[in-house]
Every structure is written in structure tokens, then in C-alpha cells.
Amino acid sequence: MQFLAPAALAGLAAISLPVIIHLLNKLRIREVRWAAMRFLQAAVKKNQRRVKMQDLLLLILRCLVLAVIVFAFARPTFEKIEKSTLVAGDPLTVMVLLDQSASMGASDGLETRFAAARLATLNFLEELPSGSAAGLLLVNDSYASPVSRPSRDLSLVRRSVELAKLTDRGTDFQPAIRAAVEALRNLTGRREVHLFTDNQLSGWHALEAVREFLKTAPDIKVVIATPGSGPADAGSTGNLAVTNLKLDTAIPVAGQPIRVLAEITNTGETPANGVRLTLSVDDDPPSADAVISDLAPGGTRYIPLLVRLPGTGFHTLTATLPPDRLAFDNRRTLALEIAPASDVLVVESRRGPALWQGSGHFLASALAPVDEEAASRHYLHVTRTTAADLDPSKLSGYTVIFLAGADALAPPMVTALASFVNDGGGLVIMPGDATPADIFLDAPWPDLLPAVINLPVEPSQSGVEPGPYNHPLLTLWNDPGAGNLNALRFSKVFTLAPVDAPGVSTALRLADTSPVIVERTVGKGRVVLFAAPPVPSWTNLPLHPAFVPLVHRLYAGSARSSSLKLNLSPGDTFQAPVPIDQLNRDVYVRGPAADAKTVAVGRTELVATQAMLAVRNTSEAGRHAVFVGQNERPDFYFAVQSPAAESDLKTAPADILTSGTAPVAGAGASATPAAPPPYAPLLTAQQLWIFALAAAAFLSCAELFLALRTSRSS
């Protein structure tokens, strides 16, 4: 048997205390003159032996209690302690890396991986040889450095480990390992980096870079410990995750059905069947649900859900799965802003005085597919005009301008349009019969257009390319339930030659691969170019069922989008403009937890000419409410979404840094058992310590019982 803290054995001297107290009690005698001595003598004669035995037994018990307590503090162990590793030997300079990424929240039913890693870290720190120094980095997709350099104040490091919390952030081991090695590089003596983690495979995406970097510090040993990541972890028992949540409706409108797509991934090893997915708006009870069935391990499925949002402004949608072993990915929140009604301008050419004779008639009808009475209440206010009537000074009032077979525009008007786009406006160009192709050669058209417009031709194949489509404009038709574009025909098209410029992409091609829809980002705005006008003489698109949703998606894709980024990754900064009169006001945030408190995070500041608020270091996944000043209602909502890769609990082998080959994600690396932690002797010592304390408690109870029975106080 060995002792981890042999100095504590000096406490055995305390055993003399009961003996001294016993002797002192014997000396403290009172004299009483007594008449009934004969009864007393009879009692003494009868009990003397028993009383002496009890006295002796009590004395032994009291000594034993002290001895066992001292024994416990000496931390006995039956297992041989590796002299070369920890307890004995030279002092160690170590950087401890504790993984606090979201995947560490996986539970085996008793404790999370993070709790196990934290406990193992504390045990490791406790067993460091005297004179050792330790630093602490908390690993996520970046790293936090509570103790950035090795310190001999191990209590500070232990305290920092105790205060460390699980985050909803992703995993990337590279930055933390680099920082740890750099912290040790210029020191002398035994230097090691100990990483306490679940060794998630996705955290090693920069494995080769890490290996190369470690070659620059060959005398620094890196040890990976995976406490709590046994074979019976969450990965092998099943984990269903909401890995994405996105809108599938072009223009979300208050009170109208909104289609939301929830991406559900089965990262466990058992099929998911009959699992209920719910979707709730803001803090309300779920308003939509769906049942997921037959989702194979590793499989992903998009679940469409329909909800209605109660009004304009900021809202959040939260998809929720039933609880499983990994809690963080059972919920995902999407924040969105429902804008009020927008103004849209359709510039057309007219063959007669009636509106239906305009080339933009089908387009205008699709943008606001309601009668005249309801048009004023529609969320898109459509204004129709001709190129001649266009007023360049009024363009900024519109979100999107459609040139639907319009006549040639005057150069000042084109300049105004360029300015409109650069400021964030959307421009959709549909050249037609009245639009000569050569006008687009003049400046500033080439800087605006995503493609060079050549003369119209009759295409060799009038149909469009079959799906699936990757461009957001057309992904709706990847769902067979939404119809398809097979019947779409173009009898005549302008020949488009996409320009070689950044931000240019082709959304749709004809079956002969000639582009039909090309878009380009210009300044803060976007320009979409169609190869044909929305008139039946060119294409049957205006008569096709896909026309209305396509037009709305076209509008949504090119509309002057809000600069607000409402859906963030953990660690991102939320920024939003506020009215100038709210400058220097306090900014408060309430997190997503049910018992979250509203906390001040700073003040609104002036950035350039705009008053802005900023919420930095967002970490907790879910809905965050932002208040400016003393406002009772939140001014903004934003959502923090954990990286989907964290849901994949596949682990890398413990010797990943030294083995020759890099593991392939999804190649079943999770089955690789984690290497046994090198701290087994320490755990044994801890267990014996507990047993010794239990024995002390038992002996104390026995002593108390005997003392009460013989009426002696301790």
C-alpha cells in the first residue's frame, strides 16, 4: 500500500488525544460522603469488569476513529503509482485544455462528457507533482484562456476549471493546441499538453496542420484524455438533431402561411421512428408539428412545416425534438423580420391605353394577385409605368424595380438605376420586343448586368434544365409536392453571356444550357437578368403555375434586404442600427434560458453616422431578446444557432496525433474505443479515501451508540 499524501500520517499523533482526555477525566474526582455504601459496594462488585471493558472499548473506538480519518487524508492506494508519470518525479509544466464544445453535453444517462472531463481535469491537477505549474485553455471552435500561461497557483487553475461551463459552440482543436504549445515553447523541464475532450472527429478538420505544427515542438508531449466517452455514449444510443431551420417562403408575410423547412439528421446508430417535431412561434405553444418516421442512421430529412406569424416585426421560430442524450441539438431557433408593405415598380411598354396591353401586365398581376379593392391591403404595392414616365428622383421609394419589356431608358435614368442598385435596391431586367439589345452596351449598363445581352434567338430546346436546382430561387421545385418546371417553354430568348465578374451566378438554364436567369450582386443591391419578357409570345412562363411563386421569390431574392444578420453562430456579434435619438442608451439582453435574467451588455454607439448597438460574444444557442434603454418590449430578436457538425458524435482515435493516417469522417470512427485514461491509480486512491471516510463515519456511530448506552459523553 502506498499513500498519495504521506505527510498527513503525522496526524496519527492525534490518537493520543482521547488517551489524554481519558486520563484527565480519571484525575478529575469529586468526593462524596455516602451512607448507603453497601448497595454501592454490591454494584461495583457486580459491574466492575464490565465497566472497565466498556471504558477500554470506548477509548479504542475513539482512537480508531481518529486513526481512520488520518488514514483517509493520507490518500492510500493499493495500486502501484507510475513514478514516471505524475505523482513522483520532476515537476511538470502543463497546459490543460478542457473541451467545452456543445458535443461535450452528450450524456450517458448519469453525467455529461463535460462533467466527466471536468472531474478528470480536477483529479489530474490534484495529482501533479509538487512544484508543477499549469495553465488552462477552454476549447471550442476557438479557445478561451482563463490561465493563459503555466502558473504555480494550482488553486487558481482548479477554480477556473470548476467555473468552466459547457457552451453551444463548435469544436476546433487547432487554435487551442497551437496556443498551448506556444505557451510552453520557451519554458524548460517536462512540458506537456493534456487535452480533456470527447475527441470529436469533426474537431480535427485541420489535423494535418496540427501534426505539422507539433513537429516544430517535438519535446512537448500532447496527451488526449477522453473521460466519459465510453462505448455506451450518446452516439451509440441514438441522437436526432435539428441541424438546420430555414424559411421556404419567398416573402414572409404577417398572417399568411409561411413554409419552414427543418433539416433533421439522425447522428445516432439506431433508426428514428415516430419522433414528433414541433414548431413554435416566439414563446407560444407549438403551432405546427410533424412526425418523423424511418430515418436511418446517418440520414437527413427536410420536414416542411406551415405556421402563421402574428404581425410585422421580429419573430422567432423554434423547432423542437423530444429530449435525447444530446440536448443542445434538440432545439433550433430561427429569427426573422416581417417587413411591412413594400413598393414595387414595374416599368413596361404599352401597345395601347389599357393596362392589359402593357408588357408588364402578367408580372404586375403575379406580384399582387388580388383584385383592385384588396390591392391596397396587399403587402406589395405595385406601381406600373413606362420608361417615358419614369421619374429618377422617386426610385429610392421602391424596393425592387422590374423592367418588363420596357422601352430603352434615357442615360440619366440608367445612371439613377445604377445608383439605386448600389444603394441596395433590386433590379430585375426582362428585355422584350421594345428593348433593343444594343442599348445595354452603353455605360453604365455593363457594370450592372450579370450577362452580356445578345440578339434574341429561337432556342434549340425550348424546355428548361431538369432539377434538382441549387439556386435559392428555384429550390422550391425540388419538392415534388410543389410542382415542377418541366412544362416551362421559351419560344424566343435573348442570348445571355454571363460576365466574368464576382457575384455572378446562373440560376436557370434551358435544356441546351443557354442561360435563362442570371444574377449579379452590385454594390449593396442585386440585379437579375431574364432572357425573355413575361409575355406569352416569348414564353409560357406567365401562364405556368410556377409563375407567381417564382415572381415572389424573384422579388424576395432581389429586394432591398435588411442588413441585419439575425441568425448567428455562437461567438458572433449581433449588430443593429437604432434611431439616432437612442444614442448612448444602455443595451440589455435576455438569453434563451427559461430563467434567464436581463443583463446589460453595453451602450449604443455612433458608427460613422449611424447609431448602432452591438451584442458581443453571443454563446448560448436559442432566442435572445435585445432591449434598448428602458423599453419594455424587445427592440430586436436574434437567434444563435449551434454548428450542425457538433451533433455528429463520431470520435477520433486517441492516437490521432501520432498515427500515420488521418481518419475519415463518417468512416465509423466512433466505434474506436477511447484509450484508457492514464489516471486509474488516482481514481483508486480516491475510492479508498471514500471507503476510509465511510469507515470513520461507521466507527463514530458505534462510539456514539456505545457512549449513549453507557451514559458517557464523547
Partner 1 sequence: MAATHTLLDPDTLSRAEPLGMFARRVVEGYRVGEHRSPFNGFAIEFSQHREYSPGDDPRHLDWKILGRSDKYYIKQYEQDTNFVAHLLLDGSASMSFGSGKVSKIQYARGLVACLGFLILQQRDAVTATIFDDRPRETFQRTDSLGKVHQLCTQLTNFTPGRPGNLRACLQDYAARLSARGIVVIISDLLDDPADLLQGLRRLSLTRSEVIVFQVLDHEEVTFPLEGNIRFIGLEDDSRLQTNPADLRKSYLAAFNEHQQAVRRACEQCGVHYTLCDTSRPLAEALTGYLAFRSKAG
Question: What CA dihedral angle connects 494, 495, 501 and 506, to 10 degrees?
Answer: 80
- Beta bridge pairs of residue 615: 574
For residue 707, count CB atoms less than 10 angstroms from its CB and return exposed for 0-12, middle for 13-18, buried for 19 or more. Answer: middle
714 binds partner 1 (CB under 8 A): no
The grid coordinates of residue 74 equal 493520507
Applying CB under 8 A, among 43, 443, 599, 690 the residue interacting with partner 1 is: 43
Q: Please, what is the minimum distance in Å from the beta carbon of residue 20 to partner 1?
A: 16
In terms of CB distance, is 20 or 35 closer to partner 1? 35
- Give every CB contact of residue 56 below 8 A, 6+ residues apart in sequence: none
In terms of CB distance, is 562 or 714 closer to partner 1? 714
In terms of CB distance, is 36 or 594 closer to partner 1? 36
Number of Cβ within 10 Å of residue 713's Cβ equals 6
698 binds partner 1 (CB under 8 A): no
In terms of CB distance, is 607 or 708 closer to partner 1? 708
Number of Cβ within 10 Å of residue 66's Cβ equals 19
In terms of CB distance, is 537 or 710 closer to partner 1? 710
Return d(Cα 643, Cα 168) in angstroms, integer. 8
What is the SS3 assignment for 640? strand
Rg (CA), the chain: 37
709 binds partner 1 (CB under 8 A): no
633 binds partner 1 (CB under 8 A): no
Looking only at the bridges linking them, the beta strands covering 400-404 and 504-509 are unpaired
Return d(Cα 714, Cα 704) in angstroms, integer. 7
Q: Please, what is the minimum distance in Å from the beta carbon of residue 57 to partner 1?
A: 13
85 binds partner 1 (CB under 8 A): no
The grid coordinates of residue 415 equal 445612371
Contact window for partner 1 (CB under 8 A) among 43-51, 71-79, 465-473, 522-530: 43-51
Q: Please, what is the minimum distance in Å from the beta carbon of residue 703 to partner 1?
A: 16
In terms of CB distance, is 39 or 698 closer to partner 1? 39
Return d(Cα 328, Cα 316) in angstroms, integer. 17
Q: Please, what is the minimum distance in Å from the beta carbon of residue 56 to partner 1?
A: 13
Looking only at the bridges linking them, the beta strands covering 567-568 and 636-640 are parallel
Contact window for partner 1 (CB under 8 A) among 93-101, 349-357, 640-648, 706-714: 706-714
DSSP 29: -
Q: What angle do CA 159, 163, 167 make, to 5 degrees?
A: 145
Q: Please, what is the minimum distance in Å from the beta carbon of residue 64 to partner 1?
A: 22
User: How many residues sit in the footprint of partner 1 (CB under 8 A)?
Assistant: 26
130 binds partner 1 (CB under 8 A): no
Interacting residues with partner 1 between 13 and 42 (CB under 8 A): 25-26, 28-42
In terms of CB distance, is 23 or 580 closer to partner 1? 23
In terms of CB distance, is 49 or 377 closer to partner 1? 49
The grid coordinates of residue 636 equal 430586436
Q: Please, what is the minimum distance in Å from the beta carbon of residue 24 to partner 1?
A: 10
What is the SS3 assignment for 164? coil
In terms of CB distance, is 610 or 710 closer to partner 1? 710
Q: Please, what is the minimum distance in Å from the beta carbon of residue 55 to partner 1?
A: 8
705 binds partner 1 (CB under 8 A): no
Interacting residues with partner 1 between 538 and 577 (CB under 8 A): none
DSSP 652: -
Return the closest-CA partner of residue 528 out of 517, 543, 538, 544: 517
In terms of CB distance, is 31 or 373 closer to partner 1? 31
Interacting residues with partner 1 between 46 and 65 (CB under 8 A): 46-47, 51, 54
Q: Which uninterrupted H or E stretch holds 557?
A: helix 547-558
In terms of CB distance, is 26 or 83 closer to partner 1? 26
**Contact of 97 with 139, CB cutoff 8 Å:** yes
Residue 8 carries which side chain, given as an amino acid letter? A
Binding site for partner 1 (CB under 8 A): 25-26, 28-44, 46-47, 51, 54, 710-712
